Chain A
Amino acid sequence: VIGHSFGGLLTQIVAGRGLSAVSVAIDPAPFRGVLPLPISALKSASPVLGNPANRHRAVPLTYEQFRFGFANAVSEDEAKELYETFAVPASGAPLFQAASANLNPWTEAKVDSKTPAAGRC
């Protein structure tokens, strides 16, 4: 199982439930217990976290936001093309959940990172 960003977090959750043989989490969203918070992660999440009402909304990214968070290692033209081709709005809830993972005792953003059933990660 391979996942990127929140897909990476989901990959780790699924692995923790013993459902994968091998997992690759690419730049995964943090789960409970992960304390470092890079500025760039905050900036990427700011389109959602900037407004508490976004928790229950679907939030789109502007091109500039997409350029910073996703298409940051390609040319301007390719970035625009990628934005047109692939970008869609997203649920605001997961970012609030990840942001509060270390504070909320009942958080869903948790991974059983110790289980031997997790396979190779």
Chain B
Amino acid sequence: VKRTPALWLDLAVKLSLVALLAFGAFSSLDRFAGKAFGWRLVGYSIAALVVPAIWAARGRRPPYPFVADTLFVLPCGTSAVGSRLCPSRVPSGTSNSPERRTHVDVSHHRRADRSVQRDRPYPGRVIHGLWLLPSSWDRWATLFEEAGYTALTPGWPDDPETVEEANANPEVFADKTIGQVADHYAEVSSASWSTSRP
């Protein structure tokens, strides 16, 4: 085979195509997730062999059709490069790393957030610990509200309204377990979501 520029162009296109697909298939970069680079690597490599196969089947008569071969492979290359440049639109679950999935989940939340509540960011909830009441968050809640956030301070189940009431009837606190309080907050969360989302 004569070493013409057409040969080098053809080789360059095919090699870079395979290299790009292999990189996409075996790297764990987010933008390759869910774009079937593994299957493309197989499929496009077969496509790259179609013209040589036809040429061989017809008796390997020179000259080898470099231009036809290049033109035949070029769409595969365009498609692979296009996928490489476009960010992945695949939702969570298709990529394997937990951090990445967490990240995608959050961006999904943020999207929902923007479309639902344009005037105010996500409603924030502040949870107090032992020996305190929701009132202990009052100053922080004010600060959050002034900064433009919604700050809800739901209490533990049966929390008295005021510190005076609590000190007068301390037995309301007795025997509250972590599980009971967690279930209570789970209910509160679901309720506040359903009222703040359409």
A binds B: yes
A residues whose Cβ falls under 8 Å from a Cβ of B: 1-11, 13-14, 17, 19-22, 29, 56-58, 60-61, 66, 69-70, 85-95, 97-98, 108-109, 114, 116-120
Residue of B with least CB distance to A1: B125
Q: Does residue B98 face the partner (Cβ distance < 8 Å to A)?
A: yes
Q: Does residue B66 face the partner (Cβ distance < 8 Å to A)?
A: no
B interface, over-half SS: helix
Q: Which 3 A-B pairs have the closest CB atoms?
A: A5-B129, A108-B179, A3-B127
List, in ascending order, chain A residues with CB within 8 A of B175's CB: 56, 91, 93
List, in ascending order, chain A residues with CB within 8 A of B186's CB: 14, 17, 19
List, in ascending order, chain A residues with CB within 8 A of B185's CB: 10, 13-14
Pick from B5-13, B28-36, B53-61, B100-108 the stretch touching chain A. Answer: B100-108
A61 x B178 contact (CB < 8 A): no
Interface residue total, chain B, C-beta cutoff 8 A:
43
List, in ascending order, chain A residues with CB within 8 A of B132's CB: 70, 86-88, 90
User: How distant is A38 from chain B, measured CB to nearest CB, in Å?
Assistant: 16
Bound CA–CA A5/B68 (angstroms): 71
List, in ascending order, chain A residues with CB within 8 A of B102's CB: 116, 118-120
A87 x B131 contact (CB < 8 A): yes
List, in ascending order, chain B residues with CB within 8 A of A93's CB: 175-178
A2 x B163 contact (CB < 8 A): no
For B167-180 the 0/1 string (1 means CB < 8 A from A) is: 10011111111110
Residue of B with least CB distance to A15: B189
List, in ascending order, chain B residues with CB within 8 A of A85's CB: 135, 163
B177 x A108 contact (CB < 8 A): yes
Contacts A20-B189, A97-B178 known; A88 to B129 CB distance under 8 Å? no
B131 x A2 contact (CB < 8 A): no
Can you list 20 A-B contacts (CB < 8 A)? A2-B126, A5-B129, A6-B130, A10-B182, A11-B127, A13-B185, A14-B185, A19-B189, A21-B122, A22-B106, A58-B174, A70-B132, A87-B132, A88-B131, A88-B133, A88-B163, A91-B174, A92-B174, A118-B102, A120-B102
A2 x B178 contact (CB < 8 A): no
List, in ascending order, chain A residues with CB within 8 A of B87's CB: none
A89 x B166 contact (CB < 8 A): yes
List, in ascending order, chain A residues with CB within 8 A of B92's CB: 116
B128 x A7 contact (CB < 8 A): yes
Residue of B with least CB distance to A7: B127
Residue of A with least CB distance to B124: A2
List, in ascending order, chain B residues with CB within 8 A of A21's CB: 106, 109-110, 113, 122
